[in-house]
Chains A and B, each alone.
Chain A
Amino acid sequence: MPGGSDPLTPLAWQPVPGAAGAFIWPLIRKIDIISSNSYLIATPDVLILIDPGGLPEQADQLARVIGECRRERDRPVFVFLTHAHIDHFIGALSGPAFASPETAVFAVQERGSQALECGDTKLTQADILGRTLPPMKIGLDLFPGTWGAGKNIPVQVAYPNGATVTITYTWSGTDGELPHGRLEFGNSPPLEIYHTPGHSPDSICLGMGDLLFIGDILFAANPGVAGLSGWDQKALVHSLGHVLTLLDEGGITTVLPGHGRAVTAPDAGRMLSAVRTGAQELSDIAELNRGRAEQAAAFAEDCMEEVNELFTIMAGRLYYVSYVLDELGESDIARRMESVIPGDTVDELLEAFSAFADEHHRGRGLSIQLALKAAQVIGKLDRSFRREELTRIIDPTLVDRAGRLLSDYTQLLRGFNPPGELSACSLVTVIEAIVTGLSVPSCSDEDLLSSADDDAAFIRILLARIGARPLLEDIAFTLDADGQSLQVSVDREIFSDLVTYILEDLVGTGSDRITIAIRKEGAYAVVIISGAVPADAVPEQEKTRRFLHGLAGRAGGTMKYTEDGGMRRYLIHLDLLAGGA
């Protein structure tokens, strides 16, 4: 979020700008998925609580402040939910303060109201967060199905808490307009409500004076949020357009999200525009339910093992380049190298994830939390390294694979099926290309000599010579194709990654003699990658094997792993194309 001073002071009463006689007490939390912000508004006629949050202690704190207000002047209490996700309300179910319509009337858009009254664990996200949900009584359905008939006709409703509310829906029913209603409590400033589905079908924004409460639409296109049960891309894009129009019309100075700090209206406009751009690209994503959260969490752990290794190797390579340059008296360039990947930041991010995953395994965490933590770490890692510059210094295969790993995880969490672009190709040709890329230095002696008269070119090529060390340069390598010219169906990029990971594992484990054999077995082409490893080498870790199996599947094949008498073998089966042998 943009910097600058907060437009509102947390945990303190302050006037609601543009709404004479109304005061707001904001409870603004650090962003997480457990509980939302809460906003309490006091007017002479009513106490309005927007989103009591997901934590009992938060609800208790709010109940205490409400109690103080009522002791000063007794007023009815209404609890509005920006939407019925449990992190916005479930804390209120633990105590008596919000337990009955006599103490507090809940007001929720009709779809959310229905979900709460029948204890729907999917729409409320209780299921994905591993919570149960008792049915709730909702006193005030907002935007009910019948309201179109009463357009511009004020309706007065009396409630068991003693309140009388005048409700006027002013939407004309045309597609280009934001569905809008106005709630009046006596002579106090009115509360405006806007139906803004997309993040959930029941999402609403609320306005009082110059303030606009927007629930979670700022986060609705984020990985791990987009695709939640009830999420609707088209509706979201539509609603974001409406809210942007509302901001453009002026009058709103401060926007209060469901999570995180309040922002000024211009900042909110910029952020919501970016969300809309992101949301427009999210067609056809799968629902993010409990099963997919578990799948994402499992992939996150396997993926993070590899991410950890790749980033440590990349950072190590840069330190190595820096070391050699220092030896050559090029200290300035040496220092510059260390900023291409901020090693300390990367270490801290990876260690934070590792600690989080350990906690998760001790049984205190939920899959969605682990999946979202991975998404957060991966997002930060992705922004942390200067990919283009790095590609010019160290092996591009390392950098590209790291980039693809980060992107694959985000794609999976978003619900896109990871792309498997199978195409027909000659297996020998593909493997020769991979092996050549891992055997030949990226810059030849000739390149280095020809750059001698150009300082910038010389430094560039020198860096690449030091930083890019062909994986197979000191390995006795054999490609045994047995005269086969097999046509297979494979995703070349993913297959190349798979073979490279395997070769890296073999070289890293101490294998100095590696063979890739290609054989035909019935309807399959089989690629056998084998290497002798030291007697004390530990077998490939389960997580690594699972990761490689996943890659093999996405490449269009299957993989088997065997280890016998110090010989490690990876067998990759690929579909042979008819007539391709």
Chain B
Amino acid sequence: MEITTTTRDNAIVLSLDGRIDTATAPALEQAINREIEGQHRKILLDFSRVTYISSGGLRVLLATAKKLKNPGDRFALCSLSPEVMKILKLAGFTSIFSICPTEGEALAGW
């Protein structure tokens, strides 16, 4: 999986490309942690090129949600494929963090 990091105003957007599985979930977690350690507390994950997420990937998302729950923190996902959306929805994750159709909608109001 490739991870591209860009800055949008005061938020960090991590654009993910590929599968989030046992092999790649640790790299995602490290990339997110690097941003949080660098005091970036508004993080958006762009899922438009993610085709698969395993339970290991779900755990990384929850771990991030736990770290970004202070007032002023933001954590959201955008542009999910139907396959990934289905998994998040049926696993009950849609009530934990924001899931937006587009990057623009996600960042509006941050």
Residues of A at the B interface (CB closer than 8 Å) are 309, 311-313, 315-317, 319-320, 322-323, 326, 341, 343-344, 346-348, 350-351, 469, 471, 504-505, 507-510, 534, 536-538
- Which of B58, B62, B66 is in CB contact (< 8 Å) with A312? B58
**Other A-B pairs, 7, CB within 8 Å; known A312-B58, A347-B21, A509-B82:** A504-B90, A507-B89, A508-B87, A509-B85, A510-B82, A510-B85, A534-B82
Q: How far is the CB of A53 from chain B (nearest CB, A)?
A: 33
Interface of B: prevailing SS:
helix
Give the docked Cα–Cα distance between A62 and B75 (Å).
62
29 A-B pairs with C-beta separation under 8 A: A309-B86, A312-B53, A312-B55, A313-B87, A313-B90, A316-B55, A316-B87, A316-B91, A316-B92, A316-B93, A317-B92, A319-B55, A319-B59, A320-B92, A320-B93, A322-B62, A323-B62, A323-B96, A326-B66, A341-B55, A343-B55, A343-B59, A346-B55, A351-B22, A471-B90, A504-B86, A505-B86, A510-B85, A537-B82
Q: How far is the CB of B77 from chain A (nearest CB, A)?
A: 14
Within 8 Å CB of B58, what residues of A? 312, 315-316, 319
Are A320 and B96 in contact (CB-based, < 8 A)?
yes
- A338 nearest in chain B by CB position: B59
For B19-56 the 0/1 string (1 means CB < 8 A from A) is: 00111000000000000000000000000000001111
Within 8 Å CB of A317, what residues of B? 91-92
Give the docked Cα–Cα distance between A312 and B53 (Å).
8
Q: How far is the CB of A441 from chain B (nearest CB, A)?
A: 13
Give the docked Cα–Cα distance between A348 and B54 (Å).
10
Give the docked Cα–Cα distance between A315 and B88 (Å).
11
Are B89 and A312 in contact (CB-based, < 8 A)?
no
Give the docked Cα–Cα distance between A174 and B88 (Å).
65
Are A309 and B87 in contact (CB-based, < 8 A)?
yes
- B53 nearest in chain A by CB position: A312
Residue B65 lies at the interface, judged by CB distance under 8 Å to chain A: yes
Are A469 and B82 in contact (CB-based, < 8 A)?
no
Give the docked Cα–Cα distance between A428 and B15 (Å).
47
- Which of B23, B53, B55, B59 is in CB contact (< 8 Å) with A311? B55
Are A320 and B89 in contact (CB-based, < 8 A)?
no
Within 8 Å CB of B86, what residues of A? 309, 504-505, 508-509
Give the docked Cα–Cα distance between A172 and B59 (Å).
66
Are A323 and B56 in contact (CB-based, < 8 A)?
no
Are B62 and A319 in contact (CB-based, < 8 A)?
yes
For B84-106 the 0/1 string (1 means CB < 8 A from A) is: 01111111110010000000000
Q: How far is the CB of A494 from chain B (nearest CB, A)?
A: 21
Give the docked Cα–Cα distance between A319 and B58 (Å).
8
Give the docked Cα–Cα distance between A509 and B90 (Å).
10
Within 8 Å CB of A508, what residues of B? 82, 85-87, 89-90
- Which of A313, A351, A507, A537 is in CB contact (< 8 Å) with B91? A313
Give the docked Cα–Cα distance between A507 and B22 (Å).
27
Are A315 and B55 in contact (CB-based, < 8 A)?
yes
Give the docked Cα–Cα distance between A347 and B66 (Å).
22
Given A316-B93, A508-B89, are A323 and B55 also a contact pair (CB < 8 Å)? no
Within 8 Å CB of B88, what residues of A? 316
Q: How far is the CB of A432 from chain B (nearest CB, A)?
A: 23
